[in-house]
């Protein structure tokens, strides 16, 4: 059951009219509207959604701002940085504030399932993980900022879910469960951390989301779940043996009509190079018919996309929501820009039909439509990186980006 009652409209008029006015009507890149005959499934995918720290401070139920970072003791420092860069940011904003114009775009696209990587603990409890350095958390009463966007699945196999130790993880899992949001990738033991989210599709079938992470994304080895210890589903490596083991778990859970998303928190935060081991691992999962979509994240900016045997591999989706506004050093990567990924799959086979990316711009902790110059920048950079993977990107008349592949 979708939680559409929680959605707050970003505009007062009809969504279709609003999008048309802004030039963001969804098509498959050919000018045709998406088919309505039920032979296609649309998924919304995003990278890191970081609703903790300074963003938590502007939501209606701000938690304690106390943090234990080397250069800051208060989340309010990040809020002040953002305001220095962009101007005053309102406090006690509505729960839908951070999504801005993205809500109307998503409502127009009408994805069957919405999946993000939740890059924060949702807790008032716990103590900082020893020597972790950075801690993200959001007050549990602010969970409605996720239901405001009708998020179905929050991947938790990442390097921040245990920032506030095991009590923080326990409350995070309970908060998401109470909000009826699936949370694969972390759990009370290895069995639950490995278990996929099972998201029903209209008319039958399911989307299965398997979530796992790697140490090269910053996940501490001590966070790995075991038979008797809570934690995250941490892969030991990217070997053929590990791929085969993951594929076997997928096949054991998969039923006819299911679509499988394998969500991986891997790699560093900055830079466009995709490790050869990442490509081999993604290919191995697809070769084993274990993945219809490989959903990668950890990078703070979008990476190149590959289509292998008709299946999309998003090596890094980039951040969608964060509190990095005003932080200098990585301006060349344009971390203020983000993409909404709309993946359309053939229902019967799971094969990719189209992949549309809607450019967004973050300002004052809110998503807005990217301007023409920003869209062109994303088009050029993403096109350059996709070209290395035998794919391309075209700008549609609506201003979105459409993946092309051989």
> Mind giving me the DSSP string for 337-365?
EEEEEEEEEETTT--EEEEEEEEEEEETT
Q: What is the pLDDT of residue 71?
A: 87
| Domain range for 98 | 4-405
The helix/strand/coil state of 98 is helix
* Contacts of residue 402, Cβ cutoff 8 Å, sequence gap at least 6: 28, 29, 354, 355, 356, 357, 393, 394, 395, 396
pLDDT recorded at residue 68: 93
Number of Cβ within 10 Å of residue 201's Cβ equals 15
pLDDT of residue 29: 36
Ramachandran angles phi, psi of 76, nearest 5°: -65, -20
| Geometric angle at alpha carbon 274, from 273 and 276, rounded to 5° | 125
The CA distance from 55 to 65, in Å, is 10
Question: For residue 309, what pLDDT is reported?
Answer: 97
Residue 353, burial from CB neighbour count under 10 angstroms (0-12, 13-18, 19+)? middle
Task: Give SS3 for 36.
Answer: coil
CA dist., res. 328 & res. 103, Å (int): 28
φ/ψ region of 405 (left if φ > 0, alpha if ψ in -120 to 50, else beta) reads beta
From CA 139, how far away is CA 158, in angstroms rounded?
A: 19
pLDDT at residue number 406: 84
pTM equals 0.91
pLDDT on residue 328: 86
Q: How far is CA 252 from CA 208, 232, 247, 380, in A?
A: 12, 20, 9, 42
* Structure tokens belonging to residue 291: 């993945």
pLDDT for residue 322:
97
- 133 within 8 A of 58, measured Cβ to Cβ: no
Asked if 10 and 98 touch (Cβ cutoff 8 Å), the reply is: no
- How far is residue 353's CA from residue 137's CA, in Å, rounded to a whole number? 37
**pLDDT score, position 244:** 98
**Residue 392 in tokens:** 């391309």
Q: What total of structural domains would you count in the chain?
A: 1
Domain CATH code at residue 213: 3.60.21.10
The mean pLDDT values, 10 residues at a time, for the chain of 406 residues are 32 31 36 54 98 98 95 96 97 98 98 98 95 95 98 98 98 98 98 98 95 98 98 98 98 97 97 98 98 98 98 98 93 96 96 98 98 98 98 96 95
Rounding to the nearest 10 degrees, give the CA dihedral for residues 163, 166, 170, 171: -50
Please give the Cα distance from 235 to 346 (Å, whole number): 30
Residues 6+ apart with CB under 8 A from 1: none
- Helices vs strands, H then E, count in the chain: 10, 20
């Amino acid at each position: 059951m979708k939680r559409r009652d929680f959605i707050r409209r970003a505009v007062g008029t009809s969504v279709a009219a609003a999008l048309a006015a802004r030039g963001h009507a969804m098509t498959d890149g050919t000018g045709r509207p998406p088919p309505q005959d039920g032979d296609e499934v649309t998924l919304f995918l995003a990278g890191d959604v970081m609703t903790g720290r300074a963003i938590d401070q502007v939501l209606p139920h701000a938690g304690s701002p106390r943090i234990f970072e080397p250069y800051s003791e208060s989340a309010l420092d990040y809020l002040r940085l953002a305001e220095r860069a962009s101007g005053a940011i309102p406090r006690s904003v509505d729960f839908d504030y951070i999504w801005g114009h993205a809500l109307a775009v998503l409502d127009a696209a009408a994805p069957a399932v919405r999946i993000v990587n939740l890059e924060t603990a949702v807790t008032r409890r716990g103590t900082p993980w020893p020597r972790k350095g950075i801690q993200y958390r959001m007050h549990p009463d602010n969970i409605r900022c996720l239901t405001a966007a009708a998020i179905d699945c929050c991947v938790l196999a990442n390097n921040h879910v245990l920032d506030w130790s095991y009590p923080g993880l326990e409350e995070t899992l309970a908060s998401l469960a109470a909000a009826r949001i699936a949370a694969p990738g972390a759990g009370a033991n290895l069995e639950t951390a490995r278990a996929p989210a099972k998201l029903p599709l209209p008319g039958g079938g399911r989307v299965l989301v398997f979530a796992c992470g790697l140490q090269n994304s910053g996940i501490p080895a001590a966070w790995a779940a075991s038979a008797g210890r809570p934690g995250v589903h941490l892969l030991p490596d990217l070997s053929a043996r590990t791929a085969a083991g993951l594929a076997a778990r997928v096949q054991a859970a998969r039923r006819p009509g299911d679509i499988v998303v394998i969500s991986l928190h891997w790699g560093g935060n900055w830079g466009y190079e995709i490790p050869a081991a990442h490509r081999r691992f993604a290919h191995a999962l697809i070769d084993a018919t274990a993945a219809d979509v490989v959903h990668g994240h950890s990078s703070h900016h979008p990476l190149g996309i590959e289509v292998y045997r008709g299946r999309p591999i998003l090596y890094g989706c980039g951040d969608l929501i964060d509190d990095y506004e005003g932080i200098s050093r990585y301006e060349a990567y344009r971390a203020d820009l983000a993409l909404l990924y709309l993946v359309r799959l053939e229902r019967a086979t799971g094969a990719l039909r189209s992949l549309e990316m809607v450019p967004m711009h973050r300002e004052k902790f809110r998503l807005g439509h990217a301007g023409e110059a920003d869209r062109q920048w994303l088009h050029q950079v993403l096109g350059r990186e996709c070209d290395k993977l035998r794919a391309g990107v075209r700008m549609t008349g609506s201003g979105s980006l459409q993946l092309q592949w051989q």
